[in-house]
Structure 1
Amino acid sequence: METLSSKEKNYSIINYITFIGMIIAYFFNKELRSSYVTHHIKVMFGLVILLFISQVSHQYINIIMGDIIWLVSFVLWIISFVYAVQGKRTVIPYFSENVQKWFTFLD
C-alpha cells in the first residue's frame, strides 16, 4: 500500500464531489503530479461520461435502459468514493483498468 499525503487524499475525495470537484482536483493535481489523484480523476471522468450516457439514453432511447445505466453509475460512484476515503485505488473490474488506458490526456 502506498503512503499518501493529506493533500493527495483530500484531492481524491474532492474529486468525487460533483463535476466541479473533479475540475478543481484536476487543477490542484497539476502542481502536485500525484499518480494516485490522477487515477481517481480518470475514474471520476469515466463516471461522468457514463452519467451523461445514461441521461441521453433515458431521454432519447429507452427510459428503463437510462435508469439502469444511471443506477450502475451511481453504485460505481459510491464504491469509488469509499475507496478514496479509505486511501485506496479504485479497483472496479473492467471499468477502472480501461479508464486508465482511455483517458491518458488527463495525466
Structure 2
Amino acid sequence: MDTNPSGKQKALIAYLTFVGMLIAYFMNRDDKHEFAKWHIKNMFGLVILLFVSVALQNYEIGFYVYWISVGLWILSFVMALLNKQKAIPFLSEKFQTWFTFLD
C-alpha cells in the first residue's frame, strides 16, 4: 500500500464517533477512495457492535461486548493510521461483504 493512500483523511474521520462515520461517508460519495470506503464499512460494523452492547447492557455479556468493541475500534483506528486495510480478523472481511450499500 502507498505510504499515504488517497482517502486516508476520510478513513481517519470515519473513526471519530458515529457522526464522524457519517461525515466520512458523505465526503466519500462524490470523490470515492477505496481506502476510505473500506474503513467506513469497518466502522459501520463497529457501530452496530456497540449498539448490540448497549442493547445487552442489563446483562453481564453487554459489559464484555462493549469493551471488546472499544478495543477493536482502537485497533482499527491504528490500522488506518498505519495505512493498512486490515484490522479485525474475520469480522472486517464480513463487514466488507455485508455493507455493500455503503459503496
TM-score calculated relative to the size of structure 2: 0.94
**CA RMSD, Structure 1 to Structure 2 (Å):** 1.1
1:65-107 per-position Cα deviation (integer Å, ceiling 9, x unaligned) = 0000001100000000001111111332111000001000000
**Structure 1 unpaired stretches of 5+:** none
Tell me whether 1:101 sits opposite 2:94 in the alignment.
no
How many residues matched? 102
Partner of 1:9: 8
Q: Is the 8 A contact 2:75 2:87 kept in 1?
A: no
Give the corresponding residue for 1:27.
26
Q: Do the aligned partners of 2:13 and 2:24 also contact (CA within 8 Å) in 1?
A: yes
**TM-score under structure 1 normalisation?**
0.90
Q: Which amino acid aligns with 1:73?
A: S
Give the percent of matched residue pairs that are identical in Structure 1 and Structure 2.
47
Alignment of 1:1-107 (within 5 A): 1-2=1-2, 4-5=5-6, 8-59=7-58, 62=59, 64-107=60-103
Segments of 5+ residues of structure 2 without an aligned counterpart are none
Higher helix share: 1
